[in-house]
Amino acid sequence: MKKITGKTTLRASVNLCIAILFTVIATHAQTWEPLAIPQLNSVAIDENYATVGYNDVVYVCSDLGLFASSDNGTTFSNLTFETGPTANLPIRSVFLDEENDILYAGGENAIFKSTDNGASWTATAATGLGFVNNFAMLDDTVVAVHGDNSGPAGVVSSTDAFATVMVGTLPSTAQMKDVLAYDNSFLVAGVEGIYKSTDGGATFSQIGTGYPTTGAKYWNIEQINTTLFAGDVFGTGLYESTDMGVTWANADPLNYNDFCQVFDAVTGSGALLTVQDGACNNGEPIKLSTDGGETFSSALYNLPNAFYDRLGVNSTETCFFVYARFKDTFYRICDLPLSVNEVAGTTITVYPSPTKGIVTIQGIQQATITAYNAFGVKVESFQNFDNGASINMAKYASGIYFLTIETQRGIQTFKVLKE
């Protein structure tokens, strides 16, 4: 891994049926701030399973239980590990039912709840589970997804704070990792697919085409506006859907290509952050999109060489967190560009898309332009292009192409559909 200085590589991924209009994101002096690792009795955590913000409190789920910070991650106190039914137990997930002021903690085989902000805990009827990986809520129904590499797995739900538990029916009995309440339904990401329930978590069916199922494991599902994102930790990349999960496609084959393990993804204030490893790392293990997944850039900034596998965001969606497992280091950033306008330099436009032949590029000077096909293979390269220059794609086969445009400001990539 390397610190990015000078040029920042940006990638674009857009709906194929609209013209492409992008804003350049330039290199800025955003800074990740090192934080103290949460500790209990001078013993630091070894695992950060999740970092989540609710009501101005930042929670960290760990092998030493649940920690809470009221100063945005600067200091932490432990809520679960020393007493009560959660004593000595790892906590894998946390969720706040804000309407009823109930805090849920997901352990490695059970769900616990607190009605006093974590001061005390009680066991619920949700026991005999696998690792409780995440929660979501829709109306008065709370859903929890669970499972690990072996043992019980699936989805449970409750309308009475898990005094009673309903077990959801899924076409898979494998591990379920993430859940999202979206469009009056629950979407679950897990082994070999994305699953949807429209009946409050009672039954789920596998949805979507265009993403791999056999041999895939989706560890996260996120939403920005009407676009869904799901990352495969088994190495096929990041996928997006703009039609409620009916069809999916790789969000950016140039950034999430080859063997690409997406370990985590998080959204906040319109920004999407991902951490990945494998061939797509390229020294830039943290990627950022500030325009709904249309373009991606490196967000490594000043971070050292490490394996980053867990992201988080505070409740106001103004600060993001990242954890490096094998380095036992924890960082916070509160100056990410949260909109394209914050970092806009010169606007580059590439149009039209779709096209039958001629594509025009505005907003460039002395640019080098390279065309790649959807598999990342170079098709053609052009030198010293200026504003208003055109490329004739008539001889290209029909399909998706990526134009990388290199100027003194950096490298930007745009997706074009050739009809």
Residue 1 belongs to a domain: no
- Under the banding of pLDDT at 50, 70 and 90, the label for residue 24 is very low
For residue 2, is it within any domain?
no
Is 180 part of a structural domain of the chain? yes
Q: Which of 114-118, 152-156, 379-383, 401-405 has the lowest average pLDDT?
A: 401-405
pLDDT of residue 29: 60
Mean pLDDT of the chain: 87
**Are 92 and 175 in a shared domain?**
yes
Boundary (domain end) residue, out of 310, 342, 374: 342
Residue 351 has pLDDT above 90, yes or no: no
Q: Is the same domain home to 249 and 273?
A: yes
What are the residues facing 239 on neighbouring strands? Answer: 230, 250
Work out the pLDDT band at 340, boundaries 50, 70, 90.
very low
| CATH number, position 155 | 2.130.10.10
User: Does one domain contain both 91 and 155?
Assistant: yes
> Do 166 and 87 lie in a common domain?
yes
Q: How confident is the model over 170-185, as pLDDT tens digits?
A: 998 889 999 999 999 9
Q: Do 195 and 212 share a domain, yes or no?
A: yes
Asked whether residue 3 is domain-assigned, the answer is: no
Whether 359 is in a domain gets the answer yes
Total Cβ atoms within 10 A of residue 101: 12
Rounded Cα–Cα distance for residues 39 and 55 (Å): 22
Q: How many whole angstroms separate alpha carbon 7 and alpha carbon 256?
A: 19
Beta-carbon contacts of residue 415 (< 8 Å; ≥ 6 apart): 12, 13, 14, 16, 20, 353, 400, 401, 402
**195 with 149, same domain?**
yes
Contact 372, 254 (CB under 8 A): yes
Confidence (pTM): 0.77
- Domain with residue 352: its CATH number is 2.60.40.3080
Residue 407 sits in the same domain as residue 332: no
One domain, residues 181 and 246? yes
Residue 316 one-letter amino acid: T
Q: Decide if pLDDT at 228 tops 80.
A: yes
Question: Do 275 and 413 share a domain, yes or no?
Answer: no
Contact criterion met (CB below 8 Å) for 171 and 195: yes
Q: Is the pLDDT of residue 330 over 90?
A: yes
Distances (CA, A) of 159 to 85, 125, 137, 163: 22, 12, 10, 8
* Structure-derived torsion over alpha carbons of residues 65, 71, 75, 81, reported in degrees to the nearest 10: -20
- Of 68-82, 330-344, 354-368, where does the model show the most confidence? 68-82
Q: Which two tokens stand for residue 347?
A: 């606007």
Same domain, 357 and 338: no
pLDDT at position 269 over 60: yes
- Picking from 342, 365, 382, the residue at the C-terminal end of a domain is 342
Domain residues for 367?
9-26+344-418
Do 18 and 128 belong to one domain? no
Distance from C-alpha of 91 to C-alpha of 50, rounded to nearest angstrom: 9
- Which among 111-120, 224-233, 361-370 has the top mean pLDDT? 111-120
In this structure, the dihedral spanned by the alpha carbons of residues 189, 243, 143 and 111, taken in order and rounded to 10 degrees, is 30
In a domain, 354, yes or no: yes
| Sheet hosting strand 93-97, strand order edge to edge | 93-97, 102-106, 110-114, 122-127
List pLDDT tens digits, range 297-313.
899 999 987 899 999 99
Q: Which two tokens stand for residue 185?
A: 């339904």
- Pairwise pLDDT comparison (12 vs 303), residue with the higher score: 303
Query: How many domains are contained in the chain?
Result: 2
